[in-house]
Structure 1
Amino acid sequence: MRLLIVGALEGQLTTATKLAMDGGAKVAHAPSIEIALASLRAGRGADLLLVDVMMDIAGLIAGLEGERIVIPVVACGTESNAAAAVSAIRAGAKEYIPLPPDAELIAAVIAAVARESSDFLFRDPVMARVVKLAEQVAPSEASVLITGESGTGKEVMAKYLHSRSKRASRAFISINCAAIPEALLESELFGHEKGAFTGAVARRIGKFEEASGGTLLLDEISEMDVRLQAKLLRAIQERLIDRVGGTKPVPVDIRIIATSNRNLSEAVKDGSFREDLLFRLNVVNLKLPALRERPGDTAALADHFVDKYAKANGLGRRVLSAEARDALLRAPWPGNVRELENTLHRAVLLSGGEIIGPDAISMPDGTGLSEVVAMASVATQAAQTAETISRAMVGRTVADVERDLILDTLDHVLGNRTHAANILGISIRTLRNKLNQYADEGLAVPGPGEQRNSAA
């Protein structure tokens, strides 16, 4: 993660900088807001700004918004600066870190705001096959499309590809196409020239130029407006970009990785995604399986998250019971790895002792893990029953299926015509006409209080 410190590097702010570097952040420094903005315009980039609370944070955020620079801001200062802290949050700062700095607090805020994670853990053979393919294509220059449900680890896989590529020593730049308003995304990607729009006080380098020589991740690319997709396609094909308001193409040298949690082939059919762009991006497709499809990873990740959050919160040893582990493996996890992580973080905090049982694990709405597993089991059984019934109907005519449904329902209510008609949702007259037809065809039709005999 790239961290830009804005303010005088004195005393406690210097300590905060060192703690951030110890946490793995790449740290740069700007002594003033003007120098910070100039650095960002020049493409030196940052994922997070850590700003002295005594500086003009409102002015900084206004400058960022005016120049269409999308970067989260975190303020920091001594606890005696309460009024300044409140003003910073009201101005738009995401968080406030009190000084003197706390190592765990700085690490937590940086991780939460920048959404940075280097964890990449797998044990299941299903995931191992995907990783093997990733390792094969990583050294190439081919574009890669990573697909899968939300929370399966698409961005982590993108970083894994970059780390094993020939560009590993160069920049890895990520942009979330779903998180940036359409009006800002073009400038964020391609940059702009001075005077290109109101607030463009100087030339701004976009993500394409910032990533030149390295890798650019287009996260959730399916959310990009189709009009901007045409400009993106040209940039990928020709390795040339046009800054907003620019008159001269700018060459770039990048590798593209894109992610999507949607079916892009379906998006092409409904007109929300360009087919030619899909062909250009989808040279290699890495489809990440859902967590429920890789139980070996569920077990390994569960142990990892329990250990991680026990240490992060200064708690003693925490372990999952056999019952809890079994329940975790049987849960559906629609939110995948992200949901599993949040659930186990909560379980670690709320557990009353060393052993975490299934009763100590709950969902955000308070639903217990055991209840979730039970509901998932019922849903699975219902789906399997429906599939069995559906398969049994294949090859039969609608008239045959309708006849059996009517006669079976009549059997169920012991020949009561009115009750059967209500269940079937048809009029009593329609039911009688059908029954007369079946009797004429030689079928046994039960009378009131009777059940059907075998067909004649």
Structure 2
Amino acid sequence: MRLIIFGTLNGQIGAATRIALQRGAKVIQVEDIEQGLNTLRSGRGADLAMIDVSLDVKHLVDSLKAERINLPVVACGIGNDARAAVAAIRAGAKEYLPLPPEADLIAAVLEAVAEESHQMLFRDPAMGQVVRLAEQIAPSGASIMITGESGTGKEVMARFIHMKSPRSDKPFVSVNCAAIPDTLLESELFGHEKGAFTGAVARRLGKFEEANGGTLLLDEISEMDVRLQAKLLRAIQEREIDRIGGSKPVKVDIRVIATSNRNLADEVAKGNFREDLLFRLNVVNIKLPPLRQRPADIEMLSTFFVKKYAEANGVPERPMSPATLEALRLAPWRGNVRELENTMHRAVLLAMGSQIELADVRLPDGSALTEAIGRGTGATAEASAGEAGTPANMVGRTVADVERDLIIDTLKHCLGNRTHAATILGISIRTLRNKLKQYSDEGLAVPAANEGTRVTA
């Protein structure tokens, strides 16, 4: 956990720093926003920013957004000043933290905003075999490809490997290749010099240099444009990168881990992925089994999530009834651990009795879990999207109209989660994003993006 603190926090900087350090964070403190931005541009990355409300919170948030530095911001101020808190949240801060700091409150904010966990929670033998393989190859420097369905915990596995490697005291840097437009991904990875393109207001080091000495995770690499793959291949082979607008190559020392929820051999055959890059990345393949093939993990993970969200929401931790546990084991869980987590969060909020009953476990649309079991579709209710339009209702409509309704309905059922919706629809996240932009340009209301919580198994 890397924390950057902007300002003096009204004289509470020492106390806040000590608490963060005790909680395992690595802390950088800067006096003002420009100094902090220069620090971030130089490759000294962070997972979370805390800023004194006496500074311009909006300027920091806008500057981070303009330079595509994805960093959650927490504002801090003396006491429970409601006006300062509201102003900070409106300016774009994720949370407001009253000062003087309390250890438990800072710990909760660090966990909730950064959402960082290195736990590998499992009980099923199928997952145990995968974890043993990960532990065996972690000390090496080999590139690793982690594959598996969406929501199985690929990024958590990557963090686990990093923490078990000799690079554990160095940075772990993650890049979601599906979430960054193709035109910006090259700069995000390799960095740029000042003036290299419109908007390049200063030199910025990319993720390769930020991860120097540590591990770089290329999440959902199958979504990367094939033209950029050639530059990535050279960077991995030569262990050097070229900044956009730079005059000479820069040496880097990193371990690369990549993930994909697609069959990359099929993508190679389609011409969407370079075969030589696949060979370079796939030195060791770790395939994560879907949750439905890890039945022993379902009860353990459900119990873990119940405890987690009961504490987070200040409600009693209720045990699950036998009927509830049996239904959870029978559900196919197409969204895997992420879907199970969201389902148990909902159940914790809905439960009113002495235990979590089957009636408390609901799908996003409010229907019962038993309906999903009967359909064999899991708790995402993705079948509902298909049932929304019967053949009779489709007659007389264009293919484009039917496709649009299917995409929007599926996205609604996934609560705005683009990655999950694309998986259900069987299309790439890039195709989905292009379709949604088209619909938005046509004036159609598109569900807001919501990529859910980090998988913790």
Following TM superposition, by how much is the alpha carbon of 1:268 offset from its aligned partner in structure 2, in angstroms?
Answer: 1.8
Say whether the 8 Å CA contact 1:192–1:200 is kept in structure 2. Answer: yes
1:224 aligns with 2:224: yes
1:348 aligns with 2:351: no
Aligned Cα root-mean-square deviation (Å): 2.6
Say whether the 8 Å CA contact 1:6–1:31 is kept in structure 2. Answer: yes
Report matched runs for 1:230-241 at 5 Å: 230-241=230-241
In structure 1, C-alpha distance between the alignment counterparts of 2:378 and 2:296, rounded to whole Å: 23
Q: Which moved more, 1:221-230 or 1:179-188?
A: 179-188
In structure 2, C-alpha distance between the alignment counterparts of 1:204 and 1:331, rounded to whole Å: 47
In structure 1, C-alpha distance between the alignment counterparts of 2:296 and 2:225, rounded to whole Å: 38
Report matched runs for 1:56-135 at 5 Å: 56-78=56-78, 82=82, 85-99=85-99, 106-107=106-107, 109-135=109-135
> Per the alignment, in what secondary structure is the counterpart of residue 376 of structure 2?
helix
Kindly report structure 1 stretches of 4+ aligned residues shifted beyond 6 Å. Answer: none
**What is the one-letter code of the residue matched to 2:116?**
E
CA offsets, 1:210-254, max 9 Å, x none? Answer: 111111111111122222111111100110101111011001111
Say whether the 8 Å CA contact 1:66–1:200 is kept in structure 2. Answer: no
In structure 2, C-alpha distance between the alignment counterparts of 1:275 and 1:304, rounded to whole Å: 40
Residue of structure 2 in register with 1:176 after alignment:
176
In structure 2, C-alpha distance between the alignment counterparts of 1:57 and 1:291, rounded to whole Å: 42
Residue of structure 2 in register with 1:452 after alignment:
none
In structure 2, C-alpha distance between the alignment counterparts of 1:242 and 1:89, rounded to whole Å: 38
1:333 aligns with 2:333: yes
Residue of structure 1 in register with 2:49 after alignment:
49
1:301 aligns with 2:293: no
In structure 2, C-alpha distance between the alignment counterparts of 1:24 and 1:91, rounded to whole Å: 29
In structure 2, C-alpha distance between the alignment counterparts of 1:154 and 1:140, rounded to whole Å: 19
In structure 2, C-alpha distance between the alignment counterparts of 1:251 and 1:147, rounded to whole Å: 29
In structure 2, C-alpha distance between the alignment counterparts of 1:378 and 1:52, rounded to whole Å: 45
Residue of structure 2 in register with 1:404 after alignment:
none
Say whether the 8 Å CA contact 2:130–2:287 is kept in structure 1. Answer: yes
1:226/1:22 CA distance change after superposition, 3 Å: same
Q: Which moved more, 1:328-337 or 1:78-87?
A: 78-87
Q: Which moved more, 1:179-188 or 1:275-284?
A: 179-188
1:258 aligns with 2:245: no
CA offsets, 1:26-75, max 9 Å, x none? Answer: 33221210110111112111122222233122322333344343323333
In structure 2, C-alpha distance between the alignment counterparts of 1:245 and 1:345, rounded to whole Å: 47
1:78/1:226 CA distance change after superposition, 3 Å: farther
1:288 aligns with 2:288: yes
Say whether the 8 Å CA contact 1:317–1:354 is kept in structure 2. Answer: no
In structure 1, C-alpha distance between the alignment counterparts of 2:337 and 2:107, rounded to whole Å: 21
Say whether the 8 Å CA contact 2:9–2:52 is kept in structure 1. Answer: no
Say whether the 8 Å CA contact 1:104–1:312 is kept in structure 2. Answer: no
1:71/1:181 CA distance change after superposition, 3 Å: farther
> Per the alignment, in what secondary structure is the counterpart of residue 320 of structure 1?
coil
Residue of structure 1 in register with 2:154 after alignment:
154
Following TM superposition, by how much is the alpha carbon of 1:182 offset from its aligned partner in structure 2, in angstroms?
Answer: 2.5
Structure ID, larger Rg: 1
Say whether the 8 Å CA contact 1:53–1:75 is kept in structure 2. Answer: yes
Say whether the 8 Å CA contact 2:10–2:77 is kept in structure 1. Answer: no
Say whether the 8 Å CA contact 2:209–2:252 is kept in structure 1. Answer: yes
> Per the alignment, in what secondary structure is the counterpart of residue 174 of structure 1?
strand
Following TM superposition, by how much is the alpha carbon of 1:196 offset from its aligned partner in structure 2, in angstroms?
Answer: 1.7
1:81/1:313 CA distance change after superposition, 3 Å: closer
Q: Which runs of 5+ in 1 are unaligned?
A: 380-456
Following TM superposition, by how much is the alpha carbon of 1:109 offset from its aligned partner in structure 2, in angstroms?
Answer: 4.7
In structure 2, C-alpha distance between the alignment counterparts of 1:343 and 1:103, rounded to whole Å: 30
**What is the one-letter code of the residue matched to 2:213?**
G
Following TM superposition, by how much is the alpha carbon of 1:301 offset from its aligned partner in structure 2, in angstroms?
Answer: 1.0
Q: Which runs of 5+ in 2 are unaligned?
A: 380-457
Following TM superposition, by how much is the alpha carbon of 1:11 offset from its aligned partner in structure 2, in angstroms?
Answer: 4.9
Q: Which moved more, 1:344-353 or 1:170-179?
A: 344-353
1:136 aligns with 2:132: no
| TM-score (ref. length: structure 1) | 0.76
Following TM superposition, by how much is the alpha carbon of 1:203 offset from its aligned partner in structure 2, in angstroms?
Answer: 2.4
**What is the one-letter code of the residue matched to 1:30?**
V
In structure 2, C-alpha distance between the alignment counterparts of 1:26 and 1:116, rounded to whole Å: 14
Following TM superposition, by how much is the alpha carbon of 1:81 offset from its aligned partner in structure 2, in angstroms?
Answer: 5.2
In structure 1, C-alpha distance between the alignment counterparts of 2:246 and 2:225, rounded to whole Å: 21
1:359/1:147 CA distance change after superposition, 3 Å: same
CA offsets, 1:272-310, max 9 Å, x none? Answer: 222211111111111101101110111211122222333
Following TM superposition, by how much is the alpha carbon of 1:19 offset from its aligned partner in structure 2, in angstroms?
Answer: 4.9
1:22/1:319 CA distance change after superposition, 3 Å: farther
> Per the alignment, in what secondary structure is the counterpart of residue 27 of structure 1?
strand
Following TM superposition, by how much is the alpha carbon of 1:352 offset from its aligned partner in structure 2, in angstroms?
Answer: 1.8
In structure 2, C-alpha distance between the alignment counterparts of 1:368 and 1:175, rounded to whole Å: 37
Say whether the 8 Å CA contact 2:178–2:224 is kept in structure 1. Answer: yes
In structure 1, C-alpha distance between the alignment counterparts of 2:150 and 2:100, rounded to whole Å: 37
> Per the alignment, in what secondary structure is the counterpart of residue 356 of structure 1?
coil
In structure 2, C-alpha distance between the alignment counterparts of 1:317 and 1:81, rounded to whole Å: 32
Say whether the 8 Å CA contact 1:152–1:338 is kept in structure 2. Answer: yes
Residue of structure 1 in register with 2:310 after alignment:
310
Count of aligned pairs: 379
> Per the alignment, in what secondary structure is the counterpart of residue 229 of structure 2?
helix
Following TM superposition, by how much is the alpha carbon of 1:17 offset from its aligned partner in structure 2, in angstroms?
Answer: 4.7
Say whether the 8 Å CA contact 2:333–2:377 is kept in structure 1. Answer: no
1:73/1:100 CA distance change after superposition, 3 Å: same
**What is the one-letter code of the residue matched to 1:343?**
T
1:317/1:278 CA distance change after superposition, 3 Å: same
